[in-house]
Chain A
């Protein structure tokens, strides 16, 4: 049970790290100043390396699972969109104001460090995996420091209490996100029988749908109306 929990956490963290790598790469490409491009490039590089580390940690444990369970822990980057680690609306830099984006990085690196310390508690002390995750924590702290420096350089009038507000805001947002997803899962369980019931009636109607209309044998495909969605 404990092993599967670790695997699940590693799987989620792998998504989070890969998502961060893509976010930082997109930010690097969006930046106009060469120094900013470079800064975000190196941040993205670190996140890619973290993602690689989590991929190998996951593989090491998941290859002991029965195939049907292991299959559900496969990683593909398309999962980032499905799981919401990259928003379907776009990357953060495409949807946020720069100031908010920098604040987001600043606070989230610190929060990431906190969640890595929780992961460490699940791992055997001083094992290879433990050391790898500790190294990642050092990186996250460095990123946090860089973001803080960057933030204060470009927004020098900001007071420390304002930074604390940003952090608090992110903590609340993260907690709300967790509550939201838990509620969604709960509501899904509650409403699923209703959905299934409605789907049953929809299926009965669909059974009467005549798909012969969709057949195009002997039709000139170039002459089918292009305004129609059928």
Chain B
């Protein structure tokens, strides 16, 4: 057995790979702590995985951590030391918080799982990302891996050539602090959204902006690709993420763009300042598309490969993928469902497996729902909650699905807590809020009333392949991404432009569902009534992690206007 661990910088997670290279369990710490973006050592996730899978410690061959801790600790310090005296507080803070950095992984492991620390090893951060993406590709040799994130032990972006899984050669990297990810996060911060959480909002907001506006052009020029040196260059006069703990952008940026957004002010189309902030977001999105295109073009030039693995936090920018797929040399772009740091726990565990089986040349594709969850663990515990505050409408699985379909057809929103949960940040049906994707009233209710989200953020549509091909421009280069909702696509049929799940720019982040999945089964029942598209959003309130177990689901139902929950116990209704 092989365990991979990620943590300390972004959401922490643990992955378990068996001796056949199959991902058998994966768990994010935030799912158990209920703290969104929990980056502390994943003690609960590790304990849950060990207990749930009845693993004895001597069966664990390797525990692999997703970065080189000392490199990750020293690189920002070295950079900050060139900006004295402005960076003194930053350096002082980093040195004093030495024990909160990933260097503590060894001692934390010794504390929470004594004995396992002796099996701990560390791998290059971007290698962990590459290995996370690799099993999702059918082709597992002679391809190119592109990793773009905020910062990963020493670089902020890299290109590697995968001859086979034992020979992964790095060919190019972009040095910290010149980072596309940190640039995007700083703009997120400027726009009043939480860093590492609000980047999706910037992406959604950018569609309302005008690329030709003055502000969009200014933001566009804050970062560039140097065609001579083939590197990312950030104009650091306007940013301070490399020298400050609290501020990601400098006063110069405020002079340039005006006051940043007050995070407590509602941002709604038509409001004062909405266009200003949308234009800023547009500029950030435009330059992100350009720089990613440049990185892909350069990667093609140096590797001659037209199949790409794409991972790292920036790969979550689904709006950029269409531009990349349109590059004339691109054949395939493969993204893992969780391309960010939490997913890198999977790549780390795989490293242990690959190293232990040197003759093995392929890894099986992991399930989209690898996080083990069994209702048997909770069935008896939740009895009283259900008896007191809910009623089980039906315990029969097929009847529950039928009743759900009727409710969806009538315009109701249904929550789901079914079986194993998803790896990535996108809900794919097992921890979702769903409704009729063609019913404007239902989609608006789901988005703005149940989830309390800003109306400028779109809700994703889920559908069968045949429906997707009818309404949307499906790109073969991104085909795999549509199953994990990691790419957007343009509407093909003009009718689709009017669907409530279509964003203002005529795109949608579609999900193609498998026939046997819960959404697939629901769509089969709904098809005769004309509902071929479901709106699908994650089962969580704004700022909370996605629900993990049934108690979380029941809690969501209790504190939100949601009435129905489809679970492994059947269809449950909240009592008035």
Question: Interface residues, chain A, CB within 8 Å of chain B?
Answer: 22, 25-26, 28-29, 31-32, 34-35, 37-38, 41, 44-45, 48-49, 52, 58-59, 62-63, 65-68, 70-71, 73-78, 80-81, 86, 88, 90, 192, 195-196, 198-200, 202-204, 206-207, 209, 211, 214-222, 224, 226-230
A200 to B266, CA, bound (A): 43
B75 within 8 A of A: yes
Please tell me if the beta carbons of B75 and A214 are within 8 angstroms of each other in the complex. Answer: yes
Please tell me if the beta carbons of A217 and B262 are within 8 angstroms of each other in the complex. Answer: no
Contact stretch, chosen from B80-88, B201-209, B407-415:
B80-88
B122 within 8 A of A: yes
Interface size class of B (residues with CB under 8 A): 35 or more
B549 within 8 A of A: yes
B229 within 8 A of A: no
* A-B contacts besides A34-B382, A74-B263, A216-B154, 8 pairs, CB < 8 Å: A32-B381, A70-B262, A81-B35, A86-B33, A199-B92, A199-B95, A206-B78, A218-B170
B124 interface neighbour in A22, A67, A216, Cβ under 8 Å: A216
B36 within 8 A of A: yes
Inter-chain contacts of B150 with A (CB < 8 A): none
Q: List 7 A-B contacts (CB under 8 A).
A: A22-B34, A34-B384, A48-B555, A81-B38, A195-B95, A222-B355, A229-B71
Q: Which of B222-271 contact A (CB under 8 A)?
A: 259-266
Inter-chain contacts of B265 with A (CB < 8 A): 63
Chain B 50-81, CB within 8 Å of chain A: the 1/0 string? 00000000000000100011110011011011
Please tell me if the beta carbons of B68 and A76 are within 8 angstroms of each other in the complex. Answer: no
Inter-chain contacts of A48 with B (CB < 8 A): 555, 559
Inter-chain contacts of B259 with A (CB < 8 A): 66-67
Q: For residue B173, which residue of chain A has the nearest CB?
A: A217
Inter-chain contacts of A67 with B (CB < 8 A): 192, 259-263
Among B64, B91, B189: residue with most chain A CB under 10 A:
B91
Known interface pairs A70-B264, A229-B103. Does A203 touch B68 (Cβ–Cβ under 8 Å)? no
Interface of A is mostly: helix
Q: For residue B74, which residue of chain A has the nearest CB?
A: A209
Please tell me if the beta carbons of B75 and A211 are within 8 angstroms of each other in the complex. Answer: yes
Q: Which of B283-338 contact A (CB under 8 A)?
A: none
Please tell me if the beta carbons of A222 and B127 are within 8 angstroms of each other in the complex. Answer: yes
B197 within 8 A of A: yes
B121 within 8 A of A: yes
A227 to B69, CA, bound (A): 11
Inter-chain contacts of B173 with A (CB < 8 A): 215-217
- Rounded to whole Å, the gap between the CB of A184 and the closest CB of chain B is 12
Among A31, A58, A76, A80: residue with most chain B CB under 10 A:
A76
Please tell me if the beta carbons of B559 and A34 are within 8 angstroms of each other in the complex. Answer: no
Among B78, B167, B260: residue with most chain A CB under 10 A:
B78
- Rounded to whole Å, the gap between the CB of A203 and the closest CB of chain B is 4
A41 interface neighbour in B88, B123, B385, Cβ under 8 Å: B385
B527 within 8 A of A: no
- Rounded to whole Å, the gap between the CB of A17 and the closest CB of chain B is 13
Please tell me if the beta carbons of A45 and B559 are within 8 angstroms of each other in the complex. Answer: yes
B35 interface neighbour in A32, A68, A86, A204, Cβ under 8 Å: A86
B554 within 8 A of A: yes
Chain B 532-576, CB within 8 Å of chain A: the 1/0 string? 000000000001100001011011001100000000000000000
Inter-chain contacts of B121 with A (CB < 8 A): 226-227
Please tell me if the beta carbons of B380 and A75 are within 8 angstroms of each other in the complex. Answer: no
A45 to B123, CA, bound (A): 42
A166 to B34, CA, bound (A): 29
Please tell me if the beta carbons of B168 and A78 are within 8 angstroms of each other in the complex. Answer: no
Please tell me if the beta carbons of B384 and A37 are within 8 angstroms of each other in the complex. Answer: yes
B543 interface neighbour in A34, A71, A75, Cβ under 8 Å: A75
Among B35, B77, B85, B354: residue with most chain A CB under 10 A:
B35
- Rounded to whole Å, the gap between the CB of A33 and the closest CB of chain B is 8
A78 interface neighbour in B35, B124, B354, Cβ under 8 Å: B35
